Structure 1
Amino acid sequence: MNPWLPTAPCTPRDCAAHEGRMRGRPAAAALLLAGCACILAGALGAPFAAMLGAARRERLIRRWAYGVVRAFGVRVRIVGTPELPDGTAGAPGTLVVANHISWLDIPLVAAVFPGRMLAKSEIRDWPLLGPLAARGGTLFVERDRLRALPATVRTIGAALRGGSHVVVFPEGTTWCGRGPGGRFGPAAFQAAIDADATVRPVRISYRAAPAEHGTPAEHGTPAGAAAFVGDDPLIASLWRVVTAAGLTAEIRVLPPIPASGPADRRALARRAQAAVANESANRPPESVHH
């Protein structure tokens, strides 16, 4: 089996049900249009954003990505300290690694850590999102070509050595978020070791509004509506998200891991995976609520 093409047991029928309030069709359609308009605005504005300085461009990307998630009717909760180290001239970038549940993960992570995404080559053909990803410097990988893996590792390593922040979903595919998820593949971690970069793990979760009014969002039930799994068509997932009322996307920023610490890429991948999976480790002292 190709390790670059893991298979999750999650399916839209079994894992993507929404338990909670639903929006009516007119309100859901309005959110769908608003979300797509926000993505389109980002695609049209990308050439102008490229002319800005790095700091201003990152602030703009964060605000735009946050706006995309909110435009689809999903609240955002950021836990932890999202700032990446500034570093010095010539210092390597950071490898940001996260569990993978939904297409919403991409703007959600960008709202905290603007950087170059590693994505499957099929995303190039997605409407709106594909051209935007390409303009944003996404590193595309042909997952069905195992021979392309060493070149992908070299590309990630070069981006990290150049000071870029690279965002990777090491599970290799989406999982519904209701179980432990998949194993973190070690390939991208080799790039971090080669570049002597820092690894920054984050945990993503989606929750539906709790039944009791006034209960904090983090006490709600896992939101299957956000899951984009199996052979789920993108348009079906988009509609499921906008019709599910009371969704909250949470991203927990965990302590950085020096790539020089663990013995090899597999040990580094296991350490990052354990940090993301361990709920007791996902309680940083500072929280930012939106």
Structure 2
Amino acid sequence: MTAAPASSASGRVAVTTFARLAGLGLGLAVFVVALGPPRRLAQRLGWRLGERTPVLFQRLLCAGLGVAVRSHGEVCASGARLIVANHVSWLDIPVLGSLAPMSFLAKKEVGEHPVGRELVAMQGVVYVDRERRRCIPEVNARMVETMRAGSPVVLFAEATTGDGNRLLRFRSSHFEAVRAAAASSGGATIQPVYLHYSRLAGLPLPRFLRARVAWYGDTTFLPHFVRFVRGAGVTCDVHWGESIRVTPDMDRKTAARRTEAAVRRLAREARAGRA
């Protein structure tokens, strides 16, 4: 048997990559154009379509990118909720958003780009300027409003992405929002979540290949995105931990430390295959 020339193999990879990007772009463009305005109308009128459309959108995005999402554990489904997860990649938002309606705390830079602004507006977003700490109380107040309105807010408490091999220390600033929500609504919960990108092309993802998924440091978005699309599909296991009941007298630092400990426990169990 004669092996295929390297140039032929690289040509097939290029064609496959272009086809995936073209198909993904066309599908998402049709989705946004067709369902963007109805989504806003549905949200204003309280239709269930407005709640489920972002989930369908994120599922389409994950399918186009070759991301298989597996959910483990029970999801808290009522009351004011703060979902706190580790942060590995730009993929974290479509992965979590594909599972249930939720809003995200996002950097203000995301909303400055017209495409990014439209995409996060479809999902639901609270913006934060991490360079202006004096704005934190205002951001926390918007988080409280969102949670009291019935939408859980996702907080990536590390405040930056990591390499996927370790967790960074959780910052406590925005845990004040869930404490305030508990004080104003008679109770609130934090649900810890661990995102585990566990498999690449159906095989266990080793530590030295996690940069294929993890987006961190000085890596710019477009090269990372293209490299990811050119590669094989990945599997992300989403591990939901037991909810942490928040009371008005629980301070934000205590809430942050308890949540960080819970996510670290989920991480150890997931990596050991016990989750």
TM-score, normalized by the shorter chain, greater than 0.5: yes
Shorter chain as denominator, the TM-score bin is 0.7 to 0.9
SS at match of 1:32: helix
Q: Which has the higher contact order (CA 8 A, sep 6+)?
A: 1
Counterparts of 2:158 and 2:251, CA distance in 1: 18
Cα distance per residue 1:125-173 (max 9 Å; x no partner): 3462332213443111111111111111121122222322111111101
Q: Which of 173, 178, 203 lines up with 1:192 in the alignment?
A: 178
Q: What letter is aligned with 2:39?
A: A
Residue 5 (structure 1) aligns with: none
Q: What letter is aligned with 2:155?
A: V
- TM-score of the two chains, using structure 2 as the length reference: 0.81
| Structure 2: runs of 5+ lacking an equivalent | 1-11, 183-187
Which structure 2 residues correspond to residues 162-201 of structure 1 after superposition, within 5 A?
A: 162-179=149-166, 181-196=167-182, 197-201=188-192
SS at match of 1:50: helix
2:21 is equivalent to residue 32 of structure 1: yes
Q: What letter is aligned with 2:173?
A: A
- TM-score of the two chains, using structure 1 as the length reference: 0.77
Name which one, 1 or 2, has greater alpha-carbon Rg. 2
| Structure 1: runs of 5+ lacking an equivalent | 1-22, 211-215
Counterparts of 2:148 and 2:181, CA distance in 1: 5
Residue 204 (structure 1) aligns with: 195
Which structure 2 residues correspond to residues 127-166 of structure 1 after superposition, within 5 A?
A: 128-166=115-153
Q: Which of 43, 53, 56 lines up with 1:60 in the alignment?
A: 53
2:235 is equivalent to residue 232 of structure 1: no
2:32 is equivalent to residue 43 of structure 1: yes
For the 8 Å contact 1:275–1:282, the answer to whether it is kept is: no
Counterparts of 2:229 and 2:115, CA distance in 1: 17
Cα distance per residue 1:80-122 (max 9 Å; x no partner): 234x42x4xxxx4311111111111011111123212110011
SS at match of 1:193: helix
Counterparts of 1:186 and 1:231, CA distance in 2: 25
Between structures 1 and 2, the one with greater helix share: 2
Q: What letter is aligned with 2:161?
A: T
Counterparts of 2:259 and 2:249, CA distance in 1: 10
Q: What letter is aligned with 1:98?
A: A
Cα distance per residue 1:171-205 (max 9 Å; x no partner): 101111012x2111112211101111211111112
For the 8 Å contact 1:35–1:69, the answer to whether it is kept is: no
Could you tell me the percent identity over the aligned residues? 30
SS at match of 1:184: coil
SS at match of 2:41: coil
**Shift, 1:275, TM fit:** 1.4
Residues 260, 36 of structure 1: alpha-carbon distance in 2 compared, 3 angstrom cutoff: farther
SS at match of 1:24: helix
SS at match of 1:173: coil
Counterparts of 2:197 and 2:20, CA distance in 1: 18
Residue 119 (structure 1) aligns with: 106
Q: Which of 70, 73, 92 lines up with 1:80 in the alignment?
A: 73
SS at match of 1:201: strand
Cα distance per residue 1:40-90 (max 9 Å; x no partner): 3453323212333454433332222122112012222222234x42x4xxx
How many aligned positions are there? 249
Q: What letter is aligned with 1:31?
A: R
Counterparts of 1:209 and 1:133, CA distance in 2: 27
Counterparts of 1:185 and 1:54, CA distance in 2: 36
- Cα root mean square deviation, aligned: 2.5
